[in-house]
């Protein structure tokens, strides 16, 4: 499927390290959670999440909801765990993800099968195609996948790892070779999955390392970074790629992953990072999602303006340090977009 450049190409230009007349903005988890229209749709359709993700018409409708507030990209409504089901690890949501037989042994890893996404995940391709028909000429469409270590933590724990991931961390210490075997298989699957999204119209793709904040520096370097590099190397030259590593302070290592854009958290000084690495990568971030959820309007406004100033309209995409929190007032989400729209590059003669 050809992927024409959309009319609003601010995000794509920022991903190429270009200076933009204003800073583009989108939000992780923008399709859902705090949006009252999403909540109404969920109540009306009555589907469990694991069924909703497999429904292209509804997934398209949900993905498009944030367009009404002026975001500069539409991310496909889907879950990072979706590609695990055809491997033999089906998560159900009640309401959080649950895997009844967690993956903890070598025989279980061997039993996980690789597959062709066009055969097993055709609903993802149809969702992206429908998004392309609906808005692809206006806004860029973002695809995404969970990074291998993040997926491994879900598989091992059999649920959301939370802030402990006790069993996964024990595997890191006691059976690192077994974990690498699982990560190898997940990396192969992720490359196939992201290429499939690109073939079906994704203008850019993001890799979510949502467990990065649970790792020591040495663990991140051994169990996360090599698989990021492998995935981005396989995607090189296709579409812009974004690495999100939750509150990971080692920007030097992230910059060596091969990603075009680094999505950084509040633990990173954006201005300093851009000054050091801005010749080679763009940056995304780094507004605090907790501030957006519970902060005063004045403080949110100031934080957004500070973030835009730090990015200096040069290779910078405004986003959060992590996803929108469920309790975030929707008017605060609108506020961030409005500030981005009105804050423009001061051009000099």
Alpha carbons 333 and 317: distance in angstroms, whole number = 15
Q: What is the pTM of this model?
A: 0.97
Tens-digit pLDDT profile for residues 308-321? 999 999 999 999 99
Residue 46 CB-density burial (10 A; 0-12 exposed, 13-18 middle, 19+ buried)? exposed
SS3 5: coil
Tens-digit pLDDT profile for residues 200-240? 999 999 999 999 999 999 999 999 999 999 999 999 999 99
Q: How far is CA 276 from CA 256, 281, 284, 321, in A?
A: 13, 10, 15, 20
Alpha carbons 311 and 27: distance in angstroms, whole number = 16
Cβ atoms 90, 155 nearer than 8 A: no
Given a cut of 70, whether residue 284 has pLDDT beyond it is yes
Task: Kindly report the number of other CB atoms within 10 A of residue 139's CB atom.
Answer: 26
Q: For residue 137, give every residue at least 6 positions away whose Cβ sits within 8 Å of its Cβ, in sequence order, or none.
A: 4, 6, 7
Tens-digit pLDDT profile for residues 24-47? 999 999 998 899 999 999 999 999
Average pLDDT over residues 4-22: 96
Residue with tokens 């007032």: 329
Percent of the chain at pLDDT > 90 equals: 92
Average pLDDT over residues 11-24: 97
Tell me which of 138 and 348 has the higher pLDDT: 138
**Is the bond leading into 95 cis (omega within 30 degrees of zero)?**
yes
Write down the pLDDT at residue 36: 95
Average pLDDT over residues 52-59: 96
Q: Provide the sign of the torsion angle of the four alpha carbons 315, 75, 96, 184, taken in this order.
A: negative
Given a cut of 60, whether residue 339 has pLDDT beyond it is yes
Given a cut of 60, whether residue 349 has pLDDT beyond it is no
Summary mean pLDDT of the chain = 95
- Is 29-263 a domain of CATH 3.20.20.210? yes
Tens-digit pLDDT profile for residues 61-116? 999 999 999 999 999 999 999 999 999 999 998 889 999 999 999 999 999 999 99
Alpha carbons 10 and 23: distance in angstroms, whole number = 8
Break the chain into its structural domains and give their ranges. 29-263
Nearest to 80 by CA among 140, 136, 15, 155: 155
């Amino acid at each position: 499927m050809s992927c024409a450049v959309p009319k609003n190409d601010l995000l794509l230009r920022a991903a190429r390290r270009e200076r933009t007349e204003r800073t583009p903005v989108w939000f992780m988890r923008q399709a859902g959670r705090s949006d009252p229209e999403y909540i109404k749709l969920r109540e009306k359709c009555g589907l469990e999440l694991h069924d909703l993700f497999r429904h292209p018409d509804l997934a398209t409708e949900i993905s498009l909801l944030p367009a009404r507030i002026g975001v500069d990209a539409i991310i496909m409504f889907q879950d990072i765990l979706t590609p695990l089901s055809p491997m033999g690890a089906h998560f159900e949501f009640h309401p959080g993800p649950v895997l009844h037989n967690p993956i903890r042994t070598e025989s279980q890893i061997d039993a996980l099968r690789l597959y062709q996404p066009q055969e097993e995940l055709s609903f993802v391709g149809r969702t992206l195609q429908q998004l392309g028909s609906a808005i692809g000429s206006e806004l860029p469409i973002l695809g995404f996948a969970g990074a291998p270590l993040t997926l491994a933590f879900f598989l091992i724990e059999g649920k959301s790892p939370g802030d402990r991931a006790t069993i996964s961390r024990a595997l890191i210490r006691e059976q690192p070779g077994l974990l690498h075997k699982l990560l190898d298989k997940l990396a192969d699957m992720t490359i196939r999955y992201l290429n499939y999204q690109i073939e079906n119209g994704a203008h850019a793709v993001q890799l979510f390392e949502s467990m990065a904040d649970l790792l020591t520096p040495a663990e991140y370097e051994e169990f996360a970074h090599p698989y990021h590099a492998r995935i981005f190397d396989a995607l090189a030259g296709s579409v812009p790629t974004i690495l999100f590593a939750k509150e990971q302070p080692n920007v030097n290592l992230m910059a060596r992953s091969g990603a075009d854009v680094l999505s950084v958290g509040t633990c990173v000084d954006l201005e300093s990072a851009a000054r050091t690495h801005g010749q080679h990568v763009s940056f995304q971030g780094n507004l605090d999602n907790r501030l957006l959820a519970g902060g005063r309007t004045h403080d949110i406004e100031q934080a957004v303006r500070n973030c835009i100033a730090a990015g200096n309209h040069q290779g910078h995409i405004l986003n959060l340090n992590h996803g929108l929190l469920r309790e975030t007032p929707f008017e605060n989400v609108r506020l961030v977009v409005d500030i981005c729209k009105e804050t423009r590059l001061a051009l000099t003669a």
